[in-house]
């Protein structure tokens, strides 16, 4: 990273600006969160009218590691970050119908200054988070009482990916208030599904950082390395060059057969296989900046040159990827994009000789789910599997193989950010029953497929924002076979000359 010439630049920034130093994105908290609070408040007003009282959220607390005194590095609860952007633990936040916003901060003991750093006063916190007032948590009941609101609106609902309940605000004295739990959760989840321009800029930055790190990983890959060496390179680049401290999810650095394990990389399959010469690599890694995520997957041959089989599979997945990016626009149903991806994937596999027969029949028989047992993509934002995928009044989850794995069945709207991540895997668990299924066997070229069993898979994942008349990928990594091979051989990225040549 380049050093500041003038190291005092920081002092000229407004107190509410988040950044991580030179060459990192500067975020005006006032612009980002004031617009979000206004959006949520407007929806609450439309819903509740005169019944609207005070929106009250509770921020996250520490992540204890078992019974020890060690804590995981704090990461703010998603809904609270969305509304207030607070970096510290144990806050509460309120939005009044006037639009005024209040934060409540914990009153820290004086010795906190020795262990954790200088204790900021309420005015400094107010300026940092660009809210209208800051009080201490121990004053919360009194302050809220004085507002004489008809109700406190609390966040109460179930995350549709985890089945776990949202953090509902609770504090000493809440029993003396009238509370309402129905309105806020579906409105906030729905608001989060459609990003503001300011949110998209943050996600664009997280994509730039992770894209560059993926390119570096491609350059560093070679047989003989452990898979985790590439995880280490990726994380270091995201942090050192981009100021992105956390990965939003455990990096998946899969070589060879591990590429067929969709959530490889976890503690019991810890990216610790040694990379072999003929392996296909599948790298699903992202970063987060100001809690907003990128989520990118690249696939490439470990030794830098595709075999014919690898190319055949890869280009089938790439065809699916491109077909979806060409079709996405407001009004399109996401399950239709999933089916479009399956159609392109199976068409490519047919042309390459891995399947045979009628692609329509394959779709009807859900053969796509044998090759791609996951959904085409998911909403992305503060959560990697972002909220708002399934809500009352929106299209419900399908019951069909493949489609039922989709984390949303929504109709696309401008401002949604969604991953496009078709894949194709040769996994014993899904493929073996299909090869033995009389209804499917005639569609599969078994000797070609057997040759690929145990070789893993390919996934190509971009983060895509829906625009008023189409879509735009925020991701910028080599995708064409020629681009991948050129970058792995040490070529520049982006490679303007190669791109022009390919589009000519």
Within 377-396, the residues that bind its own copies by CB under 8 A are: 383-385
Q: What is the dihedral of CA 258, 261, 263, 269, to 10 degrees?
A: -50
Give me the residues paired with residue 300 across strands. 281
77 binds its own copies (CB under 8 A): yes
**DSSP secondary structure letter of residue 444:** B
Q: Which does 66 bind (CB under 5 to 8 A by kind): Mn ion, its own copies, none?
A: its own copies
- Runs of H (alpha helix) within 26-99: 29-48, 78-84
451 binds its own copies (CB under 8 A): no
* Closer of 117 and 438 to its own copies (Cβ): 117
Which parts of 99-118 interact with its own copies (CB under 8 A)? 110-111, 113-118
* Closer of 435 and 482 to its own copies (Cβ): 435
Which parts of 127-186 interact with its own copies (CB under 8 A)? 159, 161-162, 164-167
Angle at 246 between CA 241 and CA 248, to 5 degrees: 120
**DSSP secondary structure letter of residue 476:** -
Query: How far, in Å, CA of 446 to CA of 159, rounded?
Result: 41
From 13, 14, 38, 240, residue interacting with its own copies (rule: CB under 8 A): 240
Query: How far, in Å, CA of 67 to CA of 69, rounded?
Result: 7
462 binds its own copies (CB under 8 A): no
* Closer of 111 and 469 to its own copies (Cβ): 111
Q: Which does 171 bind (CB under 5 to 8 A by kind): Mn ion, its own copies, none?
A: none
476 binds Mn ion (CB under 5 A): no
* Closer of 353 and 454 to its own copies (Cβ): 454
Give the phi and the psi of residue 128 in degrees, each rounded to 5: -60, -40
Structure tokens at 109: 């003991």
- Number of residues in contact with its own copies, rule: CB under 8 A? 82
Which parts of 271-330 interact with Mn ion (CB under 5 A)? 295
Residues 33-72, mask of contacts with its own copies (x by CB under 8 A): ---------------------------x--xxxxxxxxxx
Closest of 216, 440, 422, 445 to residue 309, by C-alpha: 445
Which parts of 96-115 interact with Mn ion (CB under 5 A)? none
Please state the separation of Cα 115 from the chain's center in Å: 33
Structure tokens at 330: 């407001």
Residues 354-373, mask of contacts with its own copies (x by CB under 8 A): -------------------x
Closest of 264, 317, 346 to residue 462, by C-alpha: 317
Q: Which residues contact 389 (CB under 8 A, 6 or more apart)?
A: 160, 161, 193, 378, 379, 407, 408, 409, 410
Sign of CA dihedral 67, 72, 74, 76: negative
315 binds its own copies (CB under 8 A): no
Which parts of 257-296 interact with its own copies (CB under 8 A)? 258, 261-264, 266-270, 272, 274, 276
Stretch that binds its own copies, among 43-51, 82-90, 129-137, 301-309 (CB under 8 A): 82-90
207 binds Mn ion (CB under 5 A): no
Give the phi and the psi of residue 99 in degrees, each rounded to 5: 95, -10
Query: How far, in Å, CA of 186 to CA of 180, rounded?
Result: 13
* Closer of 63 and 356 to its own copies (Cβ): 63
Minimum separation from the CB atom of position 28 to its own copies (A): 17
From 419, 427, 475, 476, residue interacting with Mn ion (rule: CB under 5 A): 419
Q: Which does 295 bind (CB under 5 to 8 A by kind): its own copies, Mn ion, none?
A: Mn ion
Which parts of 399-438 interact with its own copies (CB under 8 A)? 427-430
Query: How far, in Å, CA of 258 to CA of 321, rounded?
Result: 22
Positions touching Mn ion (CB under 5 A) are: 295, 419
């Amino acid at each position: 990273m380049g050093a500041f010439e003038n190291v005092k630049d920081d002092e000229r920034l407004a107190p509410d600006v988040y950044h991580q130093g030179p060459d990192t994105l500067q975020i005006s908290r006032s612009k980002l969160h004031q617009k979000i609070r206004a959006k949520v408040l407007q929806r609450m007003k439309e819903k509740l009218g005169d019944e609207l009282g005070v929106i009250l959220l509770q921020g996250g607390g520490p992540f204890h590691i078992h019974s020890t005194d060690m804590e995981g590095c704090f990461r703010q609860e998603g809904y609270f970050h969305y509304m207030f952007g607070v970096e510290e633990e144990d806050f509460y936040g309120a939005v009044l119908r006037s639009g005024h916003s209040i934060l409540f901060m914990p009153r820290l003991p004086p010795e906190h200054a020795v262990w954790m750093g200088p204790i900021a006063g309420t005015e400094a916190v107010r300026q940092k988070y660009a809210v209208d007032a800051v009080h201490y948590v121990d004053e919360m009941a009194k302050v809220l009482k004085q507002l004489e609101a008809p109700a406190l609106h609390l966040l109460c609902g179930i995350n549709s990916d985890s089945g776990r309940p949202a953090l509902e605000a609770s504090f000493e004295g809440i029993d003396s208030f009238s509370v309402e739990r129905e309105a806020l959760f579906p409105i906030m989840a729905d608001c989060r599904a459609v990003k503001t321009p300011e949110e998209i800029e943050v996600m664009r930055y997280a994509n730039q950082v992770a894209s560059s790190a993926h390119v570096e990983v491609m350059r560093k890959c070679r047989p003989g390395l452990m898979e985790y060496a590439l995880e280490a390179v990726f994380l270091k680049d995201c942090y050192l060059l981009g100021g992105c401290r956390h990965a939003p999810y455990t990096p998946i650095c899969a070589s060879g057969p591990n590429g067929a394990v969709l959530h490889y990389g976890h503690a019991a399959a810890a990216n610790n296989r040694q990379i072999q010469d003929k392996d296909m690599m599948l790298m699903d890694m992202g970063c987060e900046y100001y809690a907003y995520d990128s989520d990118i997957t690249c696939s490439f041959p470990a030794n830098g040159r595709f075999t014919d089989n690898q190319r055949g599979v890869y280009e089938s997945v790439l065809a699916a990827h491109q077909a979806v990016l060409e079709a996405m626009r407001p009004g399109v149903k996401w399950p239709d994009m999933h089916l479009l991806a399956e159609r392109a994937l199976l068409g490519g596999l047919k042309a390459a000789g891995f399947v045979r027969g009628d692609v329509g029949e394959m779709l009807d028989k859900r053969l796509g789910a044998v090759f791609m047992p996951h959904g085409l993509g998911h909403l992305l934002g503060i959560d990697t599997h972002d909220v708002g995928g399934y809500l009352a009044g929106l299209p419900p989850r399908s019951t069909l193989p493949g489609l039922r794995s989709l984390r949303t069945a929504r109709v696309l709207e401008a401002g949604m950010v969604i991953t496009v991540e078709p894949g194709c895997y040769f996994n014993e668990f899904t493929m073996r029953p299909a090869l033995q299924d009389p209804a499917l066997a005639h569609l599969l070229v078994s000797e070609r497929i057997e040759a690929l069993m145990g070789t893993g898979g390919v996934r190509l994942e971009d983060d895509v924002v829906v625009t008023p008349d189409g879509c735009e990928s925020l991701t910028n990594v080599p995708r064409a076979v020629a681009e991948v091979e050129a970058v792995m051989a040490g070529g520049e990225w982006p490679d303007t000359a190669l791109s022009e040549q390919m589009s000519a």
